[in-house]
Structure 1
Amino acid sequence: MKKYNDTTYAILGILTTDCRSGYEIKQFIDNSLNHFWKISYGQIYPTLKRLEEEGLATIQATSQEGKPDRKEYFLTAKGKEILKDWLEKPLKQLPVERNEVLLKLFFGNHQTEEQTIRLLEDYKQKLEKIYQTYEGIEAGIASHNNNQSDAKYWLFTLDYGKRTTAAAMEWCDTTLKEI
């Protein structure tokens, strides 16, 4: 069986939702996956084209007055099978975090204590904004998508983000006290 990259699997998964066009897929990514999985706009259309070429998705064009045809993508049985096969495989590796704050702190002995404090305070403020964003997303899912069977799984991933962000904020407080 052919191997695909993670972007392909992510877009196959997105096509199981009501998102059908490249624009809708990008909006879905920006409002959900982007918090833990980055996919650039430039990756979406080539991936959709490849899905269609390999029989994993079909395209349905709809005419729009005064605009180019709207292309909607739908998973084929083969596309669903490829997604299911990938979902059932064990993880290849644990995620590796690249964190500039930790890298700078690791070499913190070579900067002033004041700069280290500013770095950590700035980081904590950014984490607080992210946490607020997660709470907004959670409220949106609860009010608009509560009946979808996907919603509980979206909330699981959101809970992970909230918990790791809360832990990072707590770590900032502890580290600042130690400095």
Structure 2
Amino acid sequence: MATAELVLGLLHDGPAHGYDVKRGHDAWFPDSRPLAFGQVYTTLARLERDELVEVVDRGSEGGPERTVYALTAMGREHLANWLAEPIQPALGPVDELVRKVVATIRTGEDATAFLARQRSSHLRRIRELKAATPDDDSSSRLVRDYLAMHLDADLRWLDSTLDRITQQKEISR
């Protein structure tokens, strides 16, 4: 994940402190893993070192000290360049689902039962994503649609895999 560029995107609309960056990320991606505070502050420190963000205020307002960061001109340019570049389609690492299915088959475990359990898990998650209450932020709906469509593609792969396993069992009889 391009955490640094996401942090730059979160600072696009104006200065913010780490807590606001984390809260903004978690609002943008409500159905994904929350961004860890440690990762936020480490990323902000690297971005400051690389002169992509700058500290514009340090204050405590009666609580813990809060450092407020803002994009620099270089940071805005870096963000614009990142947003302009398409990403490469995933061709490399094999997803954990594929690894687990292959391991189940290769170890002689009941792949049919595993595929059925996995299919149920995927269907349950798709229902959760579709049932999530829509909010005013249409980008949250886009994230949920993306996740549901990827799960749907996984379901098609699971069904195809089950068909292959079933055919191989029939051939070997």
Would you say the 8 A contact 2:15–2:70 is kept in 1? Answer: no
2:94 is the alignment partner of 1:98: yes
Q: Deviations over 1:140-171 (max 9, x none)?
A: 4xx3225xxxx3xx544443222111222344
What code does the residue aligned with 1:145 have? D
Identity of aligned residues (%): 25
2:52 is the alignment partner of 1:56: yes
Q: Matched residues in 1 for 2:17 and 2:11: separation? A: 9
Would you say the 8 A contact 1:19–1:25 is kept in 2? Answer: no
Q: Matched residues in 1 for 2:81 and 2:136: separation? A: 30
Query: What are the residue-to-residue correspondences of 1:127-166 with 2, within 5 Å?
Result: 127-135=122-130, 139-140=133-134, 143-146=135-138, 151=139, 155-166=141-152
Would you say the 8 A contact 1:9–1:86 is kept in 2? Answer: yes
**2:4 aligns to what SS in structure 1?**
helix
Classify 1:126/1:41 alpha carbon distance in 2 versus 1 (closer, same or farther; 3 Å).
farther
What code does the residue aligned with 2:148 have? K
Would you say the 8 A contact 2:8–2:71 is kept in 1? Answer: yes
Classify 1:53/1:99 alpha carbon distance in 2 versus 1 (closer, same or farther; 3 Å).
closer
| Gaps in structure 2 of 5+ consecutive residues | 167-173
Q: Matched residues in 1 for 2:68 and 2:124: separation? A: 34
Equivalent residue number for residue 167 of structure 1: 153
Equivalent residue number for residue 12 of structure 2: 16
After alignment, is 156-165 or 78-87 more displaced?
156-165
Cα drift, residue 103 of structure 1: 1.9
Q: Deviations over 1:50-82 (max 9, x none)?
A: 2223332233233232x2122232212221111
The Cα RMSD (Å) is 3.3
> How many matched pairs?
162
What code does the residue aligned with 2:125 have? I
Q: Matched residues in 1 for 2:41 and 2:113: separation? A: 41
1:123 to 102, 118, 122: 118
Larger Rg: 2
Classify 1:34/1:171 alpha carbon distance in 2 versus 1 (closer, same or farther; 3 Å).
same
Q: Matched residues in 2 for 1:31 and 1:120: separation? A: 33
**TM-score of the superposed pair, with normalisation by structure 2:** 0.69
Cα drift, residue 13 of structure 1: 1.7
Q: Matched residues in 2 for 1:123 and 1:32: separation? A: 27
Would you say the 8 A contact 1:56–1:80 is kept in 2? Answer: yes
Classify 1:58/1:120 alpha carbon distance in 2 versus 1 (closer, same or farther; 3 Å).
same
Q: Matched residues in 2 for 1:126 and 1:28: separation? A: 29
